[in-house]
Amino acid sequence: MNDDNSRELYDRALSVMPGGVNSAVRAAIEPYPFFVQKGDAGHVIDADGNRYIDWVMGLGPLLLGHSLPEPVQAAIQQKASAGPMYGTPTEVEVDLAEFVVRHVPSVEKIRFVNSGTEATVSAVRLARGHTGRNKIVVMQGGYHGAQESTLVEGDADNPAPSSAGIPQSFAEHTLPVPFNDEDAMREVFEEHGDDIAAVLTEPILANYGIVHPEDGYHEFLRELTAEHGSLLIFDEVITGFRVGGLGCAQSEFGVTPDLTTFGKVIGGGFPVGAIGGRAEIIDGFAPSGDVFQAGTFSGHPVTMAAGLETLQFAAENDVYDHVNGLGERLRNSLTEIVADQAPSYTVTGTDSMFKVIFTREGPGKDSLEEQCTAGCRQRPTCPRYDYCPKNAADVKNAETDRWRRVFWGQMKAQDVFLSQNQFECQFVSYGHTDEDVEQTLEAYKHAL
Ligand SMILES: *Cc1c(COP(=O)(O)O)cnc(C)c1O
């Protein structure tokens, strides 16, 4: 496989961009990432003309794949050519806001911003403003963007910044606990309950190998936060409009958060973020409230049109049936392949998300018949239950080096583009076909 052009481009990039990239995770591919020339349905074509089946899909935003349906393309072109933006409102912002309010049960009002990071920054500020409290509880290993309040490691007794440039005094207001651990959460509330503004979590840890909540965990979070007057914030930047269809993951779990952050899919492939929730809380944002929030590009007409037309297309076509069906097929078949070739590994994911976690230990091969067949659901009766990853530490203990250094390259050599490392999620799009799935499964068989 020739990669001369990608190498040359990366060489140029290293001279003018830190690590040669504009987002840290992109440099995770070694020795250098391939540069993309263009997309085509479920595929990307790199700068040297190599074609890959693409399960990265921009790391989440591209629900429809790389070839946008005609009405989506037309709306984008129309907004771009009408003059890109104005600094005063446009109708399409109201249209998209109404669409989200109509479909997501917990959202009565919404504010659009420009990235998932900006959404979680603003949601945390709003939660603090609303409650008059300082502390935020997050899940260890959870990702909420590149922001001061959530780039934290350690545990609730010893939180520390996970990046240089963040004062220890910021980290002290963030309390990381393990996902799926009710006792740890109860302890944190016993100690700090009066000063906890919010619990911020993804409904499914989709940035850490894909970890499903145990049955009842979100109901538990809902009750505990309500009891202490804290807010429950679901970060649905990945799961929003991907898991649970247009109702998002919260409708699938039947749990109503106070606030929800959105990003990725809701902008149809353009830079976006949003904070939605109960009107009484969202009205805390300036100018109706006293929590300052503003943005030159917020509600950008091109983004709003791309998001609205994408979601409307999904509402009127078989998008979720298609992507969830292929997702189910991938997870089912991967479960069989793994049982045969690498029985300690765990297949995870739901709807249009999938991943194989290279867990080191598993139940005996004979008992695998009764495991979850289309992605780990943390069923206590599953023979794999004692071994499947329940939080970030469990995923981290997997064979992450083998995934990155051996497996990823073997998949790429077979023209399959998987996410950069063991932790990032993989996505099915409307552009993917049965044939893409077949070819990918064959590649897994060879690479595992
Ligand atoms: C991607 C992501 C973010 C950050 O969004 P950006 O648009 O990259 O800033 C926040 N939260 C979650 C759950 C994400 O997956």
DSSP per position, 253-289 = HT---SEEEEEGGGGTTSS-EEEEE-HHHHTTBTTTS
Q: Which of 316, 337, 357 represents a domain boundary (last residue)?
A: 316
> What's the CA gap between 421 and 33, in Å, rounded?
12
Question: Does ligand 1 have an atom closer than 6 angstroms to the CB of 116?
Answer: yes
Answer yes or no: do 377 and 278 share one domain: no
Q: What is the DSSP letter of 291?
A: B
- 3-state SS of 378-412 is CCCCCCCCCCCCCCHHHHHCCCHHHHHHHHHHHHH
Place of tokens 């409904």: 203
Question: Does ligand 1 have an atom closer than 6 angstroms to the CB of 120?
Answer: yes
What region, left, alpha or beta, does residue 78 occupy, with left being phi > 0 and alpha being psi -120 to 50 degrees?
A: alpha
Answer yes or no: do 87 and 28 share one domain: no
Helical packing angle, 319-341 and 434-447, nearest 10°: 20
Three-point CA angle 229, 280, 111, nearest 5°: 110
Instruction: Please answer whether residues 296 and 86 qualify as being in contact, where contact means their C-beta atoms are separated by less than 8 angstroms.
Output: no
Annotated active-site residue 264? The verdict is: yes
Domain count, the chain: 2
CA of 151 relative to ligand 1 center, distance in Å: 12
Answer yes or no: do 55 and 76 share one domain: no
Structure tokens at 408: 């990823």
Other Cβ atoms less than 10 A from the Cβ of 66: the count is: 20
The 10 Å CB-count burial string (b at 16+, else e) for 78-102 is ebeeeeebeeeebebbeebbebbee
Answer yes or no: do 196 and 56 share one domain: no
Answer yes or no: do 98 and 117 share one domain: yes
CA of 344 relative to ligand 1 center, distance in Å: 30
Answer yes or no: do 132 and 278 share one domain: yes
- Domain carrying residue 402: 4-67+319-447
Answer yes or no: do 53 and 192 share one domain: no
Answer yes or no: do 312 and 340 share one domain: no
CATH number of the domain enclosing 256: 3.40.640.10
Answer yes or no: do 241 and 140 share one domain: yes
Question: Does ligand 1 have an atom closer than 6 angstroms to the CB of 143?
Answer: yes
Answer yes or no: do 312 and 240 share one domain: yes
Question: Does ligand 1 have an atom closer than 6 angstroms to the CB of 117?
Answer: yes
Instruction: Please answer whether residues 70 and 78 qualify as being in contact, where contact means their C-beta atoms are separated by less than 8 angstroms.
Output: no
> What's the CA gap between 185 and 73, in Å, rounded?
46
**Residue 303 CA, distance from chain mean position:** 19
> What's the CA gap between 267 and 365, in Å, rounded?
44
**Residue 298 CB partners (closer than 8 Å, separation 6+):** 111, 112, 113, 114
Q: Which of 281, 298, 316 represents a domain boundary (last residue)?
A: 316
Q: What is the pLDDT along the chain (448 residues), one digit of tens a residue?
A: 899 999 999 999 999 999 999 999 999 998 999 999 999 999 999 999 999 999 999 999 999 999 999 999 999 999 999 999 999 999 999 999 999 999 999 999 999 999 999 999 999 999 999 999 999 999 999 999 999 999 999 999 999 999 999 999 999 999 999 999 999 999 999 999 999 999 999 999 999 999 999 999 999 999 999 999 999 999 999 999 999 999 999 999 999 999 999 999 999 999 999 999 999 999 999 999 999 999 999 999 999 999 999 999 999 999 999 999 999 999 999 999 999 999 999 999 999 999 999 999 988 888 888 889 899 999 999 999 999 999 999 999 999 999 999 999 999 999 999 999 999 999 999 999 999 999 999 999 999 9
Answer yes or no: do 357 and 312 share one domain: no
CA of 57 relative to ligand 1 center, distance in Å: 14
Answer yes or no: do 307 and 251 share one domain: yes
Nearest CA-CA partner of 204 in 234, 174, 245 = 234
CA of 263 relative to ligand 1 center, distance in Å: 7
Annotated active-site residue 387? The verdict is: no
* Residue nearest to ligand 1 atom 15, measured at CA: 238
Place of tokens 């992605």: 375
Q: Which of 52, 135, 217, 235 is catalytic?
A: 235
Annotated active-site residue 235? The verdict is: yes
CA of 138 relative to ligand 1 center, distance in Å: 14
**For ligand 1, mutation pick of 238, 275, 300, 419 (most atoms within 8 Å of CB):** 238
Q: Which of 269, 297, 316 represents a domain boundary (last residue)?
A: 316
